[in-house]
Amino acid sequence: MNKAFIILLFVISIFCLSSNYLIKKSLQGEFALNNSFPNATATLAQVDSLLSFYPTLGASAYPINLYRAKASLMYGDVEKGYKYLLSANRDNPYTSSSDYYLSLIHRAYGDIDSAMFYSKKAFFAWPKNIEHFKLYLELIAQRGDTLSILDAGEFVDSTVSNQSEFITTLKKQYNIAKLTYLITSYPDASYVNNDTLIGQWDRVYNFKNSPDVFDSSTNYTFNDNSVLIRSPNDTLEYNYDIKLDSIFFYFKGSSNSFSSNKLVYSDSLKTLIFKNVFINDIYQDQYFKKRK
């Protein structure tokens, strides 16, 4: 009886000592990873040398495999990183960090539905984390879901330390969401005749099921053979000529054009379209409409 008790006590002691050693090693490894490797630059081999296989959770119930996942992803091993993220989720399904990284991976591979699923989990688990907030809003902005963006903004209250960064993100993604409703396709666009062209055309942004948004700082005023072009920086007057789907600009008194643009007109939306205008170092279409 005494011998069996001694053996049992010995086994329990070995188990306790081993557990204490492994726990101590993991806690020391966590401390080293958080303080000696800025921006999670440790390799997977370094992480494995610092952390033990037990316990699966570290300080604050942080999944140990999440360190391995981040190390794998940092050095391009997406497949292994993904497996570690799923394992971290199983070890602690209530943590939001692994959901955040899972969302990033799915977005990178174009799987937006899964990216949204994990991003939403991460956001509602920890909405006051700015990275969770940014990712969630970026994804719902792609869908043009302005209402969900405003709902997410309800979490930005006075208890958020960097409130201005949250508000800046919210405004940016709200505007991006609105742009998904911007009309940029005009199937009926065709040649414009001179009679239609005569008058003042203000720059406009046409939105689906919403009022037009005008920018009166940029406009064209067409007469029979001259045009007055107003922009935020200048006002210039030229002669012009229309040939099919192109407009040619001339200095007054000159017969040689110095510039030209593709120009078409959508009768259904009463919109004049200058194609591929080079502005702010990019080519873009510009839209103009006569005010009623």
Torsion of CA 66, 71, 74, 76, to 10 degrees: -100
**Number of H-type helices and E-type strands within the chain:** 10, 8
Report the alpha-carbon distance of residue 93 to residue 83 in Å, rounded.
15
Strand partners, 202: 219, 289
Instruction: Walk along the chain (292 residues) in steps of 10 and give the mean pLDDT of each run.
Output: 62 59 55 56 62 59 74 76 82 81 89 93 89 94 92 80 84 90 90 91 90 89 91 89 91 85 92 85 87 74
- The DSSP string of 64-109 is THHHHHHHHHHTT-HHHHHHHHHHHHHH-TT-SHHHHHHHHHHHHT
Nearest in space to 201 (alpha carbons), one of 216, 187, 185: 216
Q: What is the pLDDT of residue 240?
A: 93
- pLDDT per position as a tens digit, 143-170: 999 999 999 988 877 667 667 888 899 9
Model confidence, pTM: 0.66
Buried b (16+ CB within 10 A) or exposed e, 174-187: bebbbeeeeeeebe
Q: All domains of the chain, ordered by start, with CATH?
A: 194-289 (2.40.128.570)
CA distance 138 to 291: 34
Q: Is 54 exposed, middle or buried (0-12, 13-18, 19+ CB in 10 A)?
A: middle
Q: Are 273 and 286 in contact (CB under 8 A)?
A: yes
Beta pairing class for 199-205 and 271-279: unpaired
* Mean pLDDT, the chain, integer: 81
**pLDDT value at position 44?**
62
Q: Are 46 and 71 in contact (CB under 8 A)?
A: yes
Q: Which two tokens stand for residue 9?
A: 């006590």
C-beta neighbour count of 87 within 10 angstroms: 17
CA 106, CA 111: separation in Å to the nearest integer? 5
Instruction: Give the pLDDT confidence score for residue 209 in this predicted structure.
Output: 82
